[in-house]
Structure formats: structure tokens, C-alpha cells
Amino acid sequence: MNNIFQQNNLVSKQERELRFGTKGAVVWLTGLSGSGKSTIAVKAEKMLTDKGCRCYLLDGDNIRMGLNADLGFSDADRTENIRRISHVAALLAHSGCVCFVSAISPFATDREQAKKAAEKMDVAFFEVFIHTPVEECIRRDTKGLYKKAIDGEITNFTGISSPYEAPSEPFLQIDTLSCTPDEAAQQLCDLVCLYQQLPQITKQLCDVSIAAGVEIMDVYNSDFAVQTKDDRSPLTQADLRANKVIVDFLQKEYPHIAILSEETKDTGARLQNPFCFIVDPLDGTKEFVRRNGEFTVNIGLCAYGKPLAGVVYAPVTDTLWYAAKGCGAYSHSGNETAFFAQNDRIFVSDKTDGFTVMASRSHADERLTAILDNNKDRIKETISAGSSLKGCLIAEGKADIYYRTGLTSEWDTCAMHCVVEQAGGVLRQLDHTPLTYNRTNTLNDKGFYILNRPENTLE
């Protein structure tokens, strides 16, 4: 390895995507043999090709006929099989192609390595679990493989004599007993088509956030009244005027995407839509009322409960933080016209000790105090900020950790969540489970933490 050197391309990923009109990504379909992976993948590939999207399918069996023909089905060979496919898929995605992978990939650690291979190439990775019970796979058994495995003619067969580790947190789970292959393929097609629009959508969310900020500042610089909502939180004309600007724009431009906003009555219809904008037109109304400037406009976009894009705008400082899956996270002055410029890209810090911890201006309790006291030898300093600014400061490496033990709502975290993740950070619930969106219960009632690195949890 000492005599091997990285050769950098003269054509960037961004240039390829602009030239060919497709944002590269790896869409990894995992599931048992006979679950329907290949059937769904070939249909999705055809649908997207017909729409003009550059895509290609790497099918597990096809790869074993050539590149991986030297591999068997031992655990070590399975791992090597996935390692090779992972790197080919990442290269294809980096070239500006949506690469579908249809491979059993039974081990969670191997799929995690596939994700890391894609992220190392700076491309998005979508893990899709094709969930079909083994009994149904045996019933289908069009290749006769399960019968041979049950009869002992095939050894190390996944689901029979070799384990399958189902994904615990797939981006998308498709239950084949409740939908047809065509319907499943359409789900993938819709997801990829939305993903292709993310740069444009994110730019528009930045623009409408700034427009909402104008309304907010008009109220901020005047004498304003403060109402109290049923939950005893404050409400001003700034909240309502900003909400109207944002919701009117989203309804006009993206009528096919649901909206959940703090200041709009929730009918629950959004729950039938896998795609949803999550809006807080004025995050930090208490800070707004105190006139300390630490409030933001938050707009997130989620798909199947996971953040895809997020914009946080601070009107007083005219600062934007924004991110989109597969594009990274960025920050710049709101009046700048360039978006996704590499010199504006932000990343979390790499600290493993001597942390700068964020604290809320308005929220603290005994549980949080105990967490900080138990880890005071690892904490260098604590600084305070309001609203989503805490997560954004961690995303750009100016702080490292934030714990929130009290209640929040989806609109408080969704946009910030995307910015943090795309900057390389972690946002999880206090029980270490994922924080998801467009739920029936919009309260984040478990609390959450934001970390620059996953190993830096405070216990």
C-alpha cells in the first residue's frame, strides 16, 4: 500500500451531476432470497430510465457470475462479496448515476460498511429492506433453492442454515405482502425523483425562509402584542405572518407534499403521505419576545420519517444553515446568491474530549444538570443559545454536544436534524433510538442529544 497514491479526478461529482442531470446515489435493497428484491429493482430501474434518470442495477447473482465468481457462501466470502459490490456501487454513484443494488447482504456490519463506502465518496446511501417472511419466500421459491436448502443439498443458505440480520433502521421498509412489485417499484421511483430535486427544493426553502424573516423582523422592530396558546407558549403576529409566507409557498409549489406546521391546524391527512415539510415559522418565540435575537425560521423536508433537507435561518444575523442528503451542510450570509459552494461547507468537530457543550436559554432540569455534573471532567466550557442555533453551532464545529431532556416538537428539530447529520454529526433520542418525523404524536417526548461524534455520549 505504500506505493499506491490517490489520483484525483479533474471532473468533480458536482460537475458530473450538472452535466448529466442526475444526482448520484446508492439505493441498497436487502432481503431474503425470493423476497422480491430483483423484481422490484428492475422495475424501478426501468421506470426511472424512462424518466431520463441515469441509473443502473447491480444484481447480486449477476455480480457473482463475473466480478465475484471466485467467491463462495461462507461468512468471509459473503463479506467480501458485499465489500466489492459496495465500492463498485459507490463509484457508479460518484459518477452521477443512481445505482440500485439487489443483494441479500445478510449481515448488518457489511451493510454498514457499504454505507460508509458511499459516504466516503460523498454520495447518498438509502438502505431499503424488502421485508418478506421466510415462509412466503419458501412458498414462492421459483428457483427451487429453498427446497434444496431444506433437503440439505445447499449449505450456508440464508434464512435456513445461515442467519439473516434484518435492518433495524432502514431508510425504507417495503412489505411485499401488502403491495405489488409495481407498487413497491413506484415507491422507490418516487423517492429517487424527490431526491433528484433536493438541491432545487433546498434553495427555494432558503429563499422562503428569508422572506419569512422579513415579516418577522418587521414585527420585531415594532411594538407587538403577545398572546398565549393553549399549551401556554407565546404567540405573536411574527409567528403567524411568517407561517403564512411559508405555507402559501409550499402549497403552491409542492401540492403533492404534505405540510406539518406549528401554526397551522393539523388534520392528520399528512400521515397518508410519505413526504412532508416540517415547519416552525418562528422557533424561539420566547427569545423573540425577550428581543435577544436568538430565534430562527425552521423548514425541514422528510421522507418516510427521515430528514432529507433542512433550512435554519436566523433573521437578526442574516445567517443561513442548510443541508440536503447527498449534498452536505452549509452556512453563509442570507444575502449571498451562491448555494452549495464548497467553501461554505460545514463539518462537526473531531473532538473526543474537552467539549464545548451547548445549553438552552429557556430550558433546564435536574436530569440535564445531573448529566452535565457527571461529565464535568470532559467538559471544557458551556455556552448558551436559543432555538435551533444550538444544533447549527455544533454542525459548524463551534460546539460539540447538546442534551435536551424536556419536551420538544417535530418542528423544533427536523430542519436542524438534517443540518447536523449532513455535517457529520449525530442526533438521537435519549434512549439512543432514531428521532423520526411525520408521526401521529408530534411531541418528541423522549428528549434528544446532538453529538459531534457517536462515541461522545454523556451518561
Cα 21 from chain centre:
22
CA distance 271 to 281: 21
Choose the catalytic residue: 105, 261, 331, 409. Answer: 105
User: Is 360 labeled as catalytic in the residue annotation?
Assistant: no
The set of residues, in sequence order, having a beta carbon less than 8 Å from that of 72 and lying 6+ positions away, is: none
Which 8-state DSSP code applies to residue 331?
A: E
Residue with cell 419576545: 289
- Nine-digit cell at 134? 421466510
Q: Single out the residue of 171, 209, 168 nearest to residue 187, CA to CA.
A: 171
DSSP assignment string, 66-133: TTTTT--SSHHHHHHHHHHHHHHHHHHHHTT-EEEEE-----HHHHHHHHHHHHHTT-EEEEEEEE--
Task: Return contacts of 67-76, CB within 8 angstroms, 24+ apart.
Answer: 73/155, 73/156, 73/157, 73/162, 74/156, 75/107, 75/156, 75/162
Q: Phi and psi for 391 in degrees, rounded to 5?
A: -65, -35
As beta bridge partners, residue 303 has: 275, 306
Show which residues are catalytic. Answer: 105
